Structure 1
Amino acid sequence: MTETSLYKPVKRFLEGLGYLVKGEIGHCDVVGLREGEPPVVVVCELKMQFNMDLLLQAVDRASACDEVWLAARMSKRGKGREHDARFRNLCRRLGFGLLGVTGAGGVELLLSPAALAPRRDPRKRSRLIEEHRRRRGDPAEGGMTRQPIMTAYRQEALSCAAMLVDGPKRPRDLRPANPNAQKILHRNVYGWFVSPERGIYDITDAGRAALLRWPVEAPAP
């Protein structure tokens, strides 16, 4: 069992509470969004066991969301931190919720998050919401490490690359399907694009390799 194996059970649990859930947004393992005015944002951090690193991650995320959850695998012998009254009391004082994931993929609610005084960082919060809304589907399981995260920006860059496979184009040719095409082509963060002449862009070998790694269909122009 790895951290990513905890993602789907936790996602199902939070979806049951009415959240639209996506993984690996803004360095957060799991982000749930419930639309409204204002929207409600929850963050859940995943670890194989409840420990201080997990707690410190949750403290760091707290300013960007309305609720923080910690999720870890339940210890087989019942001797994990989830059974430590001191650990639970600390999480309760911080207002954090605790979820235990069983070996069979079930989720046990160990502690509900408390409604504490606002402690938000508006900038962090808005970045989470924007990335959650821009990302197409849920392409990254929470808990991923040592591999590129499929962010909304990467998705848009891949879409632009797919539209250049059949030949060079101008940014405005890509804009109906990709409103940020001009910025993506000009910045060329991943080296996927080349400009053979002013105002015209083509795909590079690196871009073609990226489409082989992350296949996408070219959107209708």
Structure 2
Amino acid sequence: MTFAETDLYEPVCRFLEEEGYRVQAEVKDCDIAAEKDGELIIVELKKSFQLKLVYQALDRQSLTEQVFVAIPRPQKGQREKSWKNMLKLLKRLEIGLLTVALDSPLKTVDVVLTPSDSLAWKNRKKRERLQVELENRQVSANTGGMNRRKIVTAYREKALHLCCILENREAITYGELREMGLEEKYMSILRSNVYHWFERVEKGVYRLSEEGRKALEERDYEKVVAYYRKSNEKEE
């Protein structure tokens, strides 16, 4: 694991532990190996998507069908052709995908793809050797389950931040957002209202919509919402 990849390791490790997995790094050349109830998951980490990462994941499929790659979340969202092509390739190869919000103080992890039941041949002896080493290490265990989640892009995170700001206010103005030190992007999010989470009261004044209140209760966003609610409490 390189120095750059260690930025990804801690958030992914924490995420898996919260899901109830026993986690270790650098087990038999795997960046991360995790086990729960007999299920073995392997995660390979890279600061960008590249063929070397794909080759590593394909090699790990000889150990388990539950192989994931983890990369930083996309800066330009999910509409870029390169992102769609990457997803198409990973789906075809039955490789899972995790994204890590390295550009956010939350460092959240999203499950974008989960591997389907793989037909890849598995080397039983190699798997047994890996599991023996994993089981012989001292690890901690919780409870939970690994589920696919909506990817929280940087844009969506800022929109959720706005929802948290607005949930206890009747409305907010651009001027008030600037006084909070928020960048111009937040004003743009209110104007474009992509997710229909806001309502325009008058020019430059917005309030939270019913859709926005529902978004605050969505399980996929609970960590982001909890973070910004706590952050808002400290500022008040």
TM-score range, shorter chain: 0.5 to 0.7
Deviation at 1:108, TM superposition (A): 2.0
Tell me how far 1:75 sits from its aligned partner. Answer: 3.8
Residue 134 of structure 2 aligns to a residue in which SS? helix
Structure 2, gaps ≥5 residues long = 141-236
Q: How does 1:69-148 map to 2 (within 5 A)?
A: 69-78=68-77, 84-103=83-102, 104=104, 105-117=107-119, 119-137=121-139
CA deviation after TM superposition for structure 1 residue 71, in Å:
0.1
Partner of 2:56: 57
Distance in 1, matches of 2:22 and 2:124, equals: 20
2:12 to 6, 10, 13: 10
The 3 A distance-change label for structure 1 pair 77 and 85 is: closer
CA contact (8 A) 2:78 2:84 kept: no
CA root-mean-square deviation? 2.4
Amino acid at match of 1:62: Q
Equivalent residues of 1:3, 1:47 under 8 A apart: yes
TM-score when normalising by structure 2: 0.52
Report what 1:24 is aligned to: 26
State whether residues 50 and 82 of structure 1, in contact with CA within 8 Å, keep that contact through their aligned partners in structure 2: no
Question: 127-136 or 80-89: which moved more?
Answer: 80-89
Question: What is the deviation of 1:118?
Answer: 5.4
3-state SS of the aligned residue for 1:49?
coil
Per-residue deviation, 1:93: 1.3
- Measure the CA separation in 1 of the matches of 2:29 and 2:15: 21
Say whether the 8 Å CA contact 1:31–1:43 is kept in structure 2.
yes
Aligned to 1:144: none
Aligned residues with identical type, % of pairs:
33
Counterpart residue identity of residue 64, structure 1:
L
Distance 1:73 1:82, change over 3 A: farther
Q: Does the residue aligned with 2:62 lie in a helix, a strand or coil?
A: helix
Contact 1:25/1:132, CA 8 A, preserved across alignment: yes
8 Å CA contact 2:65–2:118 kept in 1: the answer is no
User: Once the two structures are superposed, what CA deviation does each residue of 1:115-155 show, in whole Å capped at 9, x if it has no partner?
Assistant: 123521101100110110112348xxxxxxxxxxxxxxxxx
What letter is aligned with 1:52?
A: L
Maintained 8 Å contact 1:82/1:88: no
- The one-character-per-residue Cα deviations of 1:3-36 (angstroms, maximum 9, x if unpaired) are 011112111222333321111100000001113x
Q: For residues 96-126 of structure 1, what are the alpha-carbon distances to aligned partners after superposition, in whole Å with 9 as ceiling and x for unaligned?
A: 1101111221112221221123521101100
- The alignment partner of 1:116 has SS state of coil
**Does the CA contact (< 8 Å) of 2:65 and 2:115 recur in 1?**
no
Q: How many residues of Structure 1 are paired with residues of Structure 2 in the alignment?
A: 135
| Residues 151-176 of structure 1: CA deviation (Å, up to 9, x unaligned) | xxxxxxxxxxxxxxxxxxxxxxxxxx
1:2: Cα distance to partner? 1.8
**Counterpart-to-counterpart distance in 2, 1:74 and 1:100:** 5
Q: Are the aligned partners of 1:41 and 1:65 in contact in 2 as well (CA < 8 Å)?
A: yes
1:16 maps to amino acid: E
Q: Summarize the Cα distance change of 1:81–1:51 in structure 2 as closer, same or farther, 3 Å threshold.
A: farther
Deviation of 1:77 after TM superposition, in Å, equals 4.0
Q: Per the alignment, in what secondary structure is the counterpart of residue 84 of structure 1?
A: helix
Q: Give the conservation status (yes or no) of the 8 Å contact 2:23–2:139.
A: no
CA gap of 1:63–1:89, structure 2 versus 1, over 3 A, is same
